[in-house]
Chain A
Amino acid sequence: MRSGVIFGVLAALLAFPDALALKANDFKTCSKSGFCRRGRALSARAQEAQASWKSPYSLDPSSVSISPDEATVKASVKSSLYPDIKFGLELRIHDDGVVRVIMDEVDGLRKRYNEAAEWALVAEPKMSKTISWTAGKKDLRAVYGEKKNIQIVVSYDPLRVTLLRNGKEQIVLNGRGLLHMEHFRSKTVKETSEEVASDSSGEGQEVLQVENVRAWFEGESEDDWWEETFSSWTDSKPKGPESLSLDISFPNHGNVYGIPQHATNLSLPSTTGDDAPYSDPYRLYNADVFEYLASSSMSLYGSIPVMHAHSADSTVGVFNAVGSETWIDISYPTKKSTHTHWISESGIMDVFLLPGPTPEQIFTQYARLTGTTALPPHWSLGYHQCRWNYVSSDDVRTVQRRFDEEDMPVDVFWLDIEYAEDHKYFIWDSKTFPDPVKMTDDVAAIGRKMVVIVDPHLKRTDSYPIYKEASDMDILVKPKSGEGEYEGWCWSGSSSWIDHFNPASWDWWISKFKTNKIDTGFSWTQSTEDIHIWNDMNEPSIFNGPEITMPKDSIHYGGWEHRDVHNINGMLFHDNTAQAIRFRGDVPKRPFVLTRSFYAGSQRISAMWTGDNLGTWEHMAVGIKMVLANGIAGMTFAGADVGGFFGNPEPEMLIRWYQVGIFSPFFRAHAHIDTKRREPFLLEEPYKSIVRDILRLRYTMLPIWYTAFRENSVTGLPIVRPHYVMFPKDPVGFAIDDQFFIGSSGILVKPITEKEITETTVYLPDDQVYYDYFTHYAYRGSSQGNYVTVRAELHQIPVFIRGGSILPTRERPRRSSPLMKHDPFTLRVALSKSGTARGELYLDDGVTYSHQQGELVWREFVAEPSAKTTRISSKDLASANPSQTVDGVMLETYNPKNAFVKEIEEVRVEKVVVLGLSNKPKSVKVENGAELYWEYIPGVPASDKKEGTSSVLHIKDPKVIVTEDWAIVIS
């Protein structure tokens, strides 16, 4: 026996090299998940049966009930397999044309989970009062849209829901007959039904010979209906089978995007059919996947069940509001059509059909459902320096000093889990952080912030006030018995988890972040308002749980099983934290909360990152695609760890990663505890200076990023935009995900993510001039698209300004972004082929909510050519569009002399650079003012066809004020 043990120990030790990689066996494949296996088997049977396959579900025409005053219709649905089981179907058409399809079991043994949408939606959608349903003999239908070109059709038998536009099928539910809602049953039901079946056939004695009449659809066996074992864990499944299978087809769309988070291409590769790159369906089951693969359909930390289907003709979307584990098969029967099959473990069917038909409209429609990203604190767009771990308050001070000595800008220093004594979050380790408030003040003295981690696992010891209070309040997640406290293993050892579904936890959690003493227990007096929060491990990650998470039969508030709410769980945690940060002081301030786990709706208040990536070129590349995919699913404030969490990147890789990082909405460098230190000031020359320039470029462009966040906060359009969003009619761009645009600014970037690159090919999608941001070289796109080759040595980033754009930047290096508040602006006017250009600038105090009272600046810059002049002007946009200004707040009026404007009234435009003028000007003046100093370097004009360095006009210090209307005339 002993030798056996020794052998086992040795084997474990020898196996460690392998352990430094994904442990695929920790996670289920579809074949190891009962309901997924059942769902895929159903699909396989349908495939085999081909034309003879018919969905057993049908709508009872006699049950149709159309609401008299809004666009809602209800009806009964039954399955021919189980004639006694009742299902209810409801369709609602919202005032923006979105169709919500809800189906649930009626009068069942139990209740299916039906609260996912409640957590995801920002507000109760408004029903259309003008669209009306008509019930026909074979179907129900409604026709709407400005041109009456949208049709929603519900066929009775078999049940089928189709959205059409101009007579073309856009979205089809149950078109392949894979709809199956497993009804609740008691464990003996099967025998009973067999007896019933045998009785009816009159051969009571030969029970075994009776054919299972439902096998053609459901299969022969009760496959993992009542219990499921994975590795050493057994899921008790007290409710039995309750999965939902639904096929969603896009007969006229050949590309689908979304359903983050997966490490894969933006245009999702297929999972079934010939030559499918992935063998498993895309999985949505929030999970802490150690050293995840750079290309896989495996689930990761967050889940947003929203999908775009795109063609040159139209874009449509589907939001499937489900909170349980969901697997999605994708296949492309033809190049121009897509089949998807969604298999969820529990919950009602609650699907939103987004009619589009443009990407912009999809974003707006989805934003109206789940909300947009509230304008984040301005400083959070700066550079974040993180490491697991800065080991002491003196370490933090030293890192800050080194940044300042090297004159490298940084806004935020982060503390990972080791600041906390025994990983009891909030409780500083007094040996290493004896003076947390003083340390934070020292950081804040340079205008900076700190972000400190607070994870959801609570160390189970009564000396930890957070645990003790939660335990006393009985707001912890319960084990499957429904009694007591669920106990699992995480950083803090034996731990329990707050049940944020329990409303009693909300105010309590918010009170823990107060920086002053409170009467009702612990509050974080050892913190200041300059500390913001990082919520990690909120999938939740549980080291000794099945698939490194919580057992599905654990019990949440209201008696719901963890299986019902798993994917929503992480969102409630970071959402409550953000509320706490917002309201901890006397004046509400914008919170910054970074979350690893997320769900539809998370975007409203938190930023996310792509988790524990590896320091490899593949991970660097896929990080860009993941940020794009999150962006189109609403989760726009996103980024990947610069440098890669695991590993020690060589200087070349680190530099390329910084180049990727500055073009992500969220820009943070992070490193694992086992890695060498790699703060940019540690680099040797020339790498150090290259990274300094990269950091400064980010800061230079902060006005562009902030302006993009404003737009997103109103429209839901992502911060970083893939080609199909910008040029939806250009099929070449549909699968491009290694170059992208920044907001509406006109900046196109292609970061380099490969080793030893000196040049690269960039796709220019339209007949327009694209200027190299740094050299002003003019490249030409064409209406069929054009590939150009550009230099991309280590210090070079392929960044372009699309002709027709005006970029506001701030070019003076500072140590942190708040110190730029009074710095002047530079405007880059990149003329289009027709000599025009346009750009926007949004500013506010960046910290409080005074912008929601209209204390802000929102300007438009326009360059317009006329016979002999080009006129560059600035005008106020907020007065003209008060309801569209910011954050979905409907300002009624806007005061152009508001308090914020007064604060920055001396801020001027110090320089204007005009690219692509045709001729040397004769005069450059502020309108009705003095002649200005200027310098003209002849070059290729925008209107030309040829490539070459463009003409550049530098206008020196026009001294026009950025908050005022003005014009500069070039004659």
Chain B
Amino acid sequence: MFWLLLFLPLQALGAVDKAFGVSSDLLSKYVPSKSNTWNCLDGSKQIPWDFVNDDFCDCPDGSDEPGTGACRNQSFYCQNVGHIGSFIPNSRVKDGLCEPNCCDGSDERPGVCRNTCEEVGLAYKKQIEAEMKLRKTGSKIRAKYIAFAHKEKKRLEDIIQTFAAEIAVRTKEVARIRDIAERAESLSASALELKQQSPLYTSLITHSNALKSLQREHKKHLQREKELSDVLDSLRTGYNPNYQDMAVLEAVRGWEELAGLPHINDVRKDSVSDEEAGLDEDWDSDGLEITEDVEDEMWTAEDLENDLDDLLNQDYISLLLEHDEYVQASSESSILFDVASYLPDSVIPKYEEFKETLVSWLVSLGVIKGEAPSSADTSRSRQALTNAENELNKVVKEKEDAENELKEIFNIHGYGMEGEWKKLDGTCLRTDVGDYTYEVCLFGEAKQIPIKSGSSFTLGKFASWNPSPDVKPGDEEYYKKQVYNRGHRCWNGPERNVVLLLSCGTENVLTSVVELEKCEYQFTGTTPALCLPLDDADIKSKDEL
């Protein structure tokens, strides 16, 4: 259990200063007791003073060997006189390599490493000065960003007020029109109900519903087809031959035939740019868009695309009422109802007025069938109400948006405590790497855009600042990292993601882009938004150098 101290061959030990490798704050602990012993720093063991720094590990906590590599996981302190003292892992003590952090060369045997502290110190000082200068310049720009945020705040507050006033006005207007419309409709409700039972109307509604469903399904299929062709395009251009999979090759070939694309392998032989040129030309003639004969009156694909929505958005009630008017006008083709066609235009309004009076008489006398009030009036007032409501909703929405935007400006999860990021909302940074331009629009979307030609990929949309649980939201570290996720899915892989690492710089630029894992991009860049103003401590520490 105990070292048997039979005698002490002192001459064999003590080659190393007992306090070698000890930092100044611990120096006072490296002194022998009166009985020339020493206690391990954790107090677990007492050893002879000669065992300290004798290149053999005696203490369970390793504290007896501050200046050698004998104990594991210790730190060695280099004094670095003329520069700043520094700790290195003691696994680097006497390993034959001069540690850059030990400019005094104390980590190796004497004579192995030159003392470079003077030059290292100078270089370090220069570097710190350069960093400070950068921060100073950057922080001025940052101050402007903050000022901008305050202006934005003011602007938004103003428009919110404006919107509020407008909402008040419009709310009243809606109420008024609704009142009119409801009155008109209550008169006609029962008549309308009857009309709606007409076979033509019910069939029209059924047709309309069927068409809507068809349109929905069609859109779904189009979307699916689009996704499939995206999948196949990225398969074609980026498929991973590691799978050594002839099925993949066949899929690519099948797709190329279907889409009228040249074979990618041939394309690769000739360089990609030729391919894209060929691709566009071929697309319409051979591609998916098959031209076909269309019967007269049948809609073309273009018509469907452009006009179907309008068709379906028709107000059928109005249509029903118009229809009624039309039918009545033609069936009661009496002179009375047709007189207008013989009259000069200038007289018609008068005539209409007269006609309505006349007709109402006739109705009351039971001569003709009554119709009250006019269907045209009902539909018109309905339309007016809808319009007024839409206008109101629009303003409400705009106000909400402005309020949300206002909330984000000084939100630590949004544009920062001081709003310093607001200015950069939507600012796009770009850099070219290899065959691509990489772009990130801050708080928006990150993209990969081929330089020559071809389709772009979304690499992700802004999701959050540094999500690490170790980083406190609002801290400086928090704003040094942004995450953009849920980009285009990779062939046989995950969705593309971007981590944007930012640091202080006088300009907003991207400095590098790497894809460390497949579809996981790491962007680095600089921005003045991260240049915090120098505080007293910074200046003091600089002066100490």
Contact = CB atoms under 8 A, between A and B. Distances in A.
B258 to A, nearest CB: 5
Interface stretch (B1-9, B123-131, B342-350, B458-466): B1-9
B433 A446 contact: no
B115 interface: no
B244 interface: yes
Contacts of B243: 19, 290
A23 B514 CA distance: 33
Nearest to B71: A812
B258 A935 contact: no
A674 B493 contact: yes
Nearest to B435: A431
A9 B89 contact: no
User: Looking at A13, A677, A959, which has the most chain B CB atoms within 10 Å of its CB?
Assistant: A13
Contacts of A56: none
Contacts of A392: 514
Given A2-B258, A288-B244, A674-B493, A930 B9 contact: yes
Interface in A642-680: 672-677
B265 A935 contact: no
A935 B1 contact: yes
A9 B516 contact: no
A812 B69 contact: yes
Interface in B176-232: 228, 231-232
Given A544-B246, A673-B240, A677-B517, A934 B251 contact: no
Given A675-B517, A957-B56, A494 B269 contact: yes
Interface in A446-491: 446-447, 489-491
Contact of B247 (A6, A12, A407, A935): A12
A5 B254 contact: yes
B431 interface: no
Given A9-B251, A673-B518, A543 B95 contact: no
Interface in B9-26: 9, 12
Interface in B217-270: 228, 231-232, 240-251, 254-255, 257-258, 265, 268-269
Contacts of A290: 243-245
A741 B73 CA distance: 30
A489 B265 CA distance: 10
A813 B74 CA distance: 11
Contact of B265 (A10, A494, A672, A910): A494
B475 to A, nearest CB: 21
B7 A931 contact: yes
A776 interface: no
A813 to B, nearest CB: 4
A422 to B, nearest CB: 9
Given A674-B518, A911-B56, A956-B3, A9 B242 contact: no
A449 to B, nearest CB: 15
Interface in A921-964: 930-931, 933-937, 956-957, 959
A823 B7 CA distance: 27
Nearest to B288: A2
Contacts of A673: 240, 242, 518
A814 B56 contact: no
Contacts of B291: none
B6 A931 contact: yes
B258 A676 contact: no
Nearest to A231: B246
Contacts of A937: 1
Contacts of B248: 12, 19
A576 B518 CA distance: 34
Contact of A446 (B4, B7, B97): B97
Contacts of B232: 9, 13
B462 to A, nearest CB: 23
B515 A813 contact: no
A620 to B, nearest CB: 22
Interface in A284-301: 288, 290
Nearest to A407: B89
B445 to A, nearest CB: 23
Interface string A8-35: 1110110110010001000000000000
Contact of A391 (B228, B258, B514): B514
Contacts of A821: 96
Interface in B55-92: 55-56, 58, 69-70, 72-73, 89, 91-92
27 contacts: A6-B258, A12-B254, A13-B231, A13-B251, A15-B247, A19-B243, A392-B514, A394-B514, A395-B514, A494-B265, A544-B246, A544-B249, A674-B492, A674-B493, A676-B517, A677-B517, A812-B72, A819-B96, A821-B96, A822-B94, A823-B69, A910-B56, A930-B7, A931-B7, A933-B5, A934-B4, A956-B58
Interface of A: 2, 5-6, 8-10, 12-13, 15-16, 19, 23, 288, 290, 391-392, 394-395, 407, 431-432, 445-447, 489-491, 493-494, 541, 543-544, 548, 672-677, 811-815, 819, 821-824, 910-911, 930-931, 933-937, 956-957, 959
Given A8-B254, A819-B96, 7 more contacts: A2-B258, A19-B248, A407-B73, A493-B268, A812-B91, A822-B94, A956-B56
> What are the 10 A-B residue pairs with the smallest beta carbon separation, nearest first?
A12-B251, A819-B95, A813-B91, A957-B56, A543-B244, A931-B6, A9-B254, A431-B434, A5-B258, A407-B89
